[in-house]
Chain A
Amino acid sequence: MARIGTDEWVSEQELRTEYYTGLTAPARRAFDRVGPGPRFFAFLGICALFPFLTDSAFLVRVGVNVMLFALLALGLNIVVGWAGLLDLGYVAFYGFGAYMYAWVSSDQLDIHLPTELAIPVVVAASALLGLLLGLPSWRLVGDYLAITTLFFAQIFVELALNLDRVNLPWRDEPLDLTGGPNGIPGIDRMDIFGLQLDDVRDYYFLLLILMALIAVGLFYLNDSRTGRGWRASREDPLAAELMTTPVNRLKLLAFAMGAAIAGLTGSIFAAVQTGVFPQNFEVVLLIMIYAALILGGAGSISGAILGAIVVAAVPEILRTPDNARWLFYGALVAVLVATVRPWKRLAVVAGAVIVFGLAVHGLVAWLWPEGAAGESPGGAFAGLLDSWVLIPAENQETLGNVAFVLLVAAVLCLTLLRGDERLFLLVPTIYLAAFVWENRLIEQPSVTRQLLFGAILVAMMTARPQGLLGTPRVESPV
């Protein structure tokens, strides 16, 4: 595949020469040779083994979360990645699916459908809602469609909050449809053809099977007339229409299929949580689904799944300070390796950082023993760090805050400087970052988690603007 900006002769030349170079080349060529089918089965195998590798219910719960995100991202990929419709009401379909499942399998309306019937009902109803809410896409595109659909997402939350006292003419009592802010508790567990799903683990496998089926179906669909029709209408709706593609019908189909997948995911979410609440379906979730899709690479099935893994799993990994520390220093090293070249220069910087830290630590310990007397909260390689990073015995918070401001200023200066000056400033900046991390951030995991997660996303998107597994796209000149 030719890169943007390479002309024909160059790309022809590229095909004749080896695409991959360097030490990792044989591995990458082998990876390409394996093909998408076996790769996907290998991935499924690892996912299927995961619950057996751990006893912790929490980890399986994280796995369920990852799968829910993966399904949502796959559905959103149809609408956004393929059909190119900026649908900000997507989360409403997820919520609708969850509430719909709650209505047909709880005491709320006193309906208890068997699961084999409840799921098709929910999926069909969600698809129908998708058709309806997709109608504005006939006339609106881009930003205008986005604000209209965002409005649908808001309406859904408002309705869920307020439909707890619905007055109906044929009833004396107001009907409690959604339970208002308290949601609907006590939803039935799923029971598929006599197979009772009680455990989180059971739902994990259900989600894994569904994810596999949907991913394969979408993979086939992408390379069919429907998939081409979607992508053609994304690229140029007018040209697509004039090449016999019924653009409006395909837009509705995309909305309906996305909604059906979101609704299906919602029903499983409702069952696994045994309750639905309005705050489960707010705009924050929508942003996270979009983050997963864009991070993985919009338009790519494997990208949507990988993005979901990153977005759903990384915040959980960051929950423990020990893991967070690994990620922090790991990310720092990764950024250095990626940006400082050649390796000799990198070695100089790394050496300078270590020497700089030891010097500062020694100097402060000699002049002002209090300033280096503190101890880190322990954890991974704490002993090594204690003799390198300054940890004051008192006023840790104030000093940390001051250092934070200095760090931001230093990073800003780094972006302005060029050449050797940048390298000189880089050394104290890294040390400052470590100081801020050990004194201030590690003390407050909840804040740190968000900051570090955001930083990881920014770093990933800067490194690969097309998404981790996405293909770079050009904008149409029209």
Chain B
Amino acid sequence: MREPLLELRSVSKSFGGLLCIDRLDLTVGEGEIVSVIGPNGAGKTTLFNLVTGIYEPDQGEILFEGRGIVGLEPHKIAKLGIARTFQTLRLFLNMTVKENVKAATYGHTRTRFWQSALRTPASRREEREVDELAEERLAFFGKRLIGYRMEQPAYSLSYANRRRLEIARATGTAPRLLLLDEPAAGMNPVETHEITELIGRLRTEGGYTILLIEHDMHVVEGISDRVVALDHGEKIAEGSFERVATDPRVVEAYLGARAASGE
């Protein structure tokens, strides 16, 4: 197996008496696409919130590139190279499409505010770079987000384009690991197919490692190197899609004990 980029060691998190993540071990290797599946409430999004630093685990370690990231502020973790999208879209709706991506470059730019206010040559140069970067990231999605759309407010985008912009914004932070939280939610079959292809391109062309939460099994089947199934915060199965999808515990978690025993 390749060198792990992200590693969770026996991570637990509970809210009050509710144990959301229970001694979870997980590794994601460089260049892998790993899917996390599980019924609603299994702790998938909590897992993302732990990795990105929104929550701190009660116990356990989270290592990124071999370095512990528990307790770091979320923006520092993001700067290290972990970017994510949100299941419920959280775009900067009143900013333009381009500004949404440009805003994500904050961590990798260094102009101080007085330099910006005086518009020094250095600040101008950096601003040009950021501008080019944003256009390049938006161009990744074909013609959908470029052209006249770049200068329009994000709220004017359609639902599917908002999902695409979320991914474009996440890539604006220059990440190594992309956490995609249900990128195909609410999309029609054509768009779902398109997003599956796109996730593949994100790895081959963008060079990102991808950890994915997805309910649509077509997407999961199509692109995952490895699938991890969660239920009640516990890892119940791990391996190739075929193995996990036929695992009795996974079938039980989704459909109930009777279906799993074949009755």
Contacts and interface: CB of A to CB of B under 8 A. Distances in A.
Contact of B92 (A1, A221, A239): A239
Interface string B141-155: 000000011011101
Nearest to A243: B104
Interface stretch (B60-68, B72-80, B192-200, B208-216): B72-80
A242 interface: yes
A239 B95 CA distance: 13
27 contacts: A1-B151, A8-B156, A8-B157, A8-B161, A12-B148, A218-B117, A220-B118, A225-B102, A225-B106, A225-B130, A226-B113, A226-B116, A227-B116, A232-B103, A236-B91, A238-B90, A239-B91, A241-B75, A242-B74, A242-B75, A242-B78, A243-B106, A244-B173, A471-B94, A473-B94, A476-B93, A478-B90
Contacts of A471: 94
A217 interface: yes
Given A1-B153, A231-B95, 15 more contacts: A7-B156, A220-B116, A224-B116, A224-B117, A224-B123, A225-B109, A225-B111, A225-B116, A226-B113, A231-B99, A241-B78, A243-B103, A243-B170, A246-B106, A473-B94
Given A7-B158, A242-B78, A2 B106 contact: no
Contacts of A236: 90-92
Contact of B156 (A2, A221, A232, A244): A2
Contacts of B95: 228, 231-232, 235
Contacts of A4: 155
B119 interface: yes
Contact of A228 (B90, B102, B153): B102
B152 A11 contact: yes
A477 B149 CA distance: 22
B86 interface: yes
Given A238-B54, A239-B92, A8 B158 contact: yes
B111 A246 contact: no
B201 interface: no
B186 interface: no
Interface residues of B, number: 50
A291 interface: no
B130 to A, nearest CB: 7
Nearest to A473: B94
Interface of A: 1-2, 4, 6-8, 11-12, 15, 217-218, 220-221, 223-229, 231-232, 235-236, 238-247, 253, 257, 471, 473-474, 476-478
Contacts of A223: 127
B116 A244 contact: no
A244 B107 contact: yes
Given A235-B95, A243-B172, A244-B107, A220 B119 contact: yes
B84 interface: yes
Given A220-B116, A224-B127, A240 B108 contact: no
Contacts of B224: none
Contacts of A240: 92, 103
Contacts of A253: 113
Contacts of A2: 152-153, 156
B35 interface: no
Nearest to B99: A228
A198 B95 CA distance: 45
Given A2-B152, A241-B75, A243-B172, A474 B93 contact: yes
Nearest to A476: B93
Contacts of B94: 231, 235, 471, 473-474
Interface in B204-228: none
B153 A235 contact: no
B88 interface: yes
A221 B116 contact: yes
Contacts of A225: 102, 105-106, 109, 111, 116, 126, 130
A134 B70 CA distance: 27
A196 B37 CA distance: 74
Given A221-B116, A242-B84, A474-B155, A228 B103 contact: yes
